[in-house]
Amino acid sequence: MKIKLESSSKNKTELLCGFVPEESSRVLGLPEYDDVKITSSINQSIRDNGGKLGNLTIIPISGKKPASRILLAGIGKKNKMTNDTLRFVSGKIALKARELKLKEFTIIAPPSFVNEIASTVSQIVEGAKMSVYKFDKFRAEKENAPPDLTIVCLRSAKVVKAIRSSEIIADGAIFTKSMANLPPNECNPSTLAGFARTISNKNKMRCKIISKSELKKNGFGGITAVGQGSKNEPKLIILEYSHGAKNKKPILLVGKAVTFDTGGISLKPGDNMNEMKFDKCGGCTVLGIMKAASELKLPINLVGIVPSVENMPGGESYRPGDIVKLYNGKTAEILNTDAEGRLILADALAYGEKQYSPQAVIDFATLTGACIVALGTNVAGMVSNDERLAKRIFDSSKRTSEEVWQLPLNQDYMDMIKSDVADMKNMGIGRAAGTITAAAFLQNAIEKTPWVHLDIAGVAWTQTATKEKPYNPKGATGFGVRLVLDYLQNLRA
């Protein structure tokens, strides 16, 4: 999808789209027509549409007019609009344009009383661009090419920048989805390492891949243990983006990437095990953020670390009862090999903190089913050791509509993972507070750095109870890319 900006809605287009608030008698920004029949048809269609959120009404236009059709898109009541309203409705418009097999369509950006103008055009771009993404790599029958988009809005440097930035951000989310949607026979740890090398070469980042023998030699006991049951060897993927001051500490992003999770010896039930290809979503999110941040040329220092393994049962698999020594020297008693994500993340977090002395750490992981029980499939769990950092992430979640909710972490939860035979165990007590005890395990890997853990198990891909959004088609959602890029863009020097 190519996106361009025009200052007038009078240019020729196959479909001219305008937004209609509920209980309104006009289309926001639509020019007046001197043709009585067209005006009458528009007014009747406004009444029929009602401005209800997501309602679409198409009006054919005859004669030599700039637009072949006019589309009215309901955005609901103005006092109930959110930061997601225009993204949601623009996505529906883009899907309708594709369904009509159009080559292009035009959306009139509503006046600033709806949203601040940069936010308005960003939502339009993200909603339209992400909605026409389709994972059809392995289908013989492909979707028709997505139509191009023209946005009608007064040109300014701010608007031009917003459009360009939101294109890059949407592409970062799509890149994340495309990796996460790959089946396990097409994406193993080496494949992810290849993706990292590609974006590092293209966007001038430093890339380092630590392989099995070096991982074992250097004490990455968690990654080594989890990955040793698979013929697909584990990798630790590191990307460095350095566009900030040399004396400025980096932000560290860490993402769990289990390219397929059988549960290992503690084998998962067969139902929905196919979805465990999505256990790599945290790592894919980190790669998507690194790609977008470098293309946005953000004036920051950023490090992305992705511990990647395949958790398989086999003669060399780690076992319940094993005691594993992690990178930071602490030992973990293994009670369940399906609680593997915290082991590989603990290694990566400890390594990242030691090597880079970051100013803040954010990790992403499809870590616990308990998070889905607690928060459902539309809100990510957040645990942090620093309220200021947590507040910034929460503010970004509100701006991007990638929602998070903070859960507590105190000494009582830390005590729940104490072991009689090791420094800690990789499970809590029964089914109690599973999301928090998993975070408590990760907290043991952090010495003193401000840290936020995002459990994205419920939001990383579309599930039965996931709210339908046109820009999140079935499969991976790319959750976290827009959220954290907003946080990074709003960092204060």
Catalytic residue numbers? 268, 342
Q: Any idea which residue has 């395949």 for tokens?
A: 310
DSSP sequence for 168-204: HHHHHHHHHHHHHTS-TTT--HHHHHHHHHHHHHHHT
Residues 124, 455, 487, 286, Cα dihedral to 10°? -80
Say how many CA atoms lie within 13 Å of 245 toward its Cβ.
4
Q: Which two tokens stand for residue 155?
A: 């040109």
H or E element: which one contains 307? Answer: strand 301-311
Q: Which two tokens stand for residue 200?
A: 């590092």
What distance lies between CA 403 and its chain's CA centroid? 11
Q: How many helices (H) and strands (E) does the chain have?
A: 14, 18
H or E element: which one contains 119? Answer: helix 117-131
Q: Report phi then psi at 258, rounded to 5.
A: -90, 105
What order of strands is seen across the sheet that includes strand 424-425? 323-325, 331-333, 424-425
Task: Decide the pairing of beta strands 424-425 and 331-333.
Answer: parallel
Q: Which two tokens stand for residue 259?
A: 């390219």
Cβ-based neighbour number of residue 414 at 10 Å? 17
